[in-house]
């Protein structure tokens, strides 16, 4: 979930900076420099979050190198990111969501009459 919110913030910032570069004429170098700084600044956290997500599904973080295969690599990684986490502990550690326990059925409160007597009690 953290990866999703991370991308929701980073992608719009990159798109806005890209549009600003295309639309402006006099401050192109400044905006390109800003875009490069933002890109380098988010590179390491992106790699770390991607490796963390791949470890959740019990796959090595080195699978991120699939990104360098044009078209297919990004699609394969997107599918892998969408897979549910493995239950329990895998070779990379415990499930970050903990053990999933079955929900217990709610217990109904005893019903009473306005005088305080239990309904159905004889």
Flag whether 92 is in a domain: no
Flag whether 122 is in a domain: no
d(C-alpha 58, C-alpha 89), whole Å: 9
Q: How many domains does the chain have?
A: 1
Instruction: Give the range among 43-47, 96-100, 115-119 with minimum mean pLDDT.
Output: 96-100
Flag whether 112 is in a domain: no
Instruction: Write the pLDDT tens digit of every residue in 52-68.
Output: 888 888 889 899 998 88
d(C-alpha 99, C-alpha 89), whole Å: 9
Cβ proximity of 81 and 53 under 8 Å: yes
Q: For Cα atoms 38, 40, 46, give the angle at the middle one, nearest 5 degrees.
A: 95
Average pLDDT taken over every residue of the chain: 78
Provide mean pLDDT across the span 82-89.
Answer: 81
DSSP state of 106: P
Q: 101 versus 89: which is more confidently predicted?
A: 89
DSSP state of 1: -
CA 93 to chain CA mean position, Å:
18
Find tokens 């549009």 and name the residue.
19
Flag whether 116 is in a domain: no
Q: Could you tell me the residue range of the domain that residue 13 belongs to?
A: 2-87
Find tokens 């170098």 and name the residue.
29
Tell whether the model's pLDDT for residue 7 goes beyond 60. Answer: yes
Flag whether 109 is in a domain: no
């Amino acid at each position: 979930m953290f990866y999703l919110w991370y991308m929701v913030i980073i992608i719009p910032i990159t798109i806005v900076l890209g549009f600003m570069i295309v639309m402006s004429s006099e401050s192109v170098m400044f905006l390109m420099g800003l875009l490069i700084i933002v890109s380098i600044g988010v590179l390491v956290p992106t790699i770390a979050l991607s490796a963390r997500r791949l470890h959740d599904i019990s796959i090595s973080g080195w699978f991120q190198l699939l990104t360098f295969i044009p078209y297919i690599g990004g699609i394969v990684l997107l599918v892998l990111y969408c897979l549910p986490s493995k239950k329990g502990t895998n070779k990379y550690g415990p499930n970050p969501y903990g053990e999933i326990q079955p929900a217990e059925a709610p217990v109904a409160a005893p019903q009473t009459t306005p005088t305080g007597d239990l309904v159905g009690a004889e």
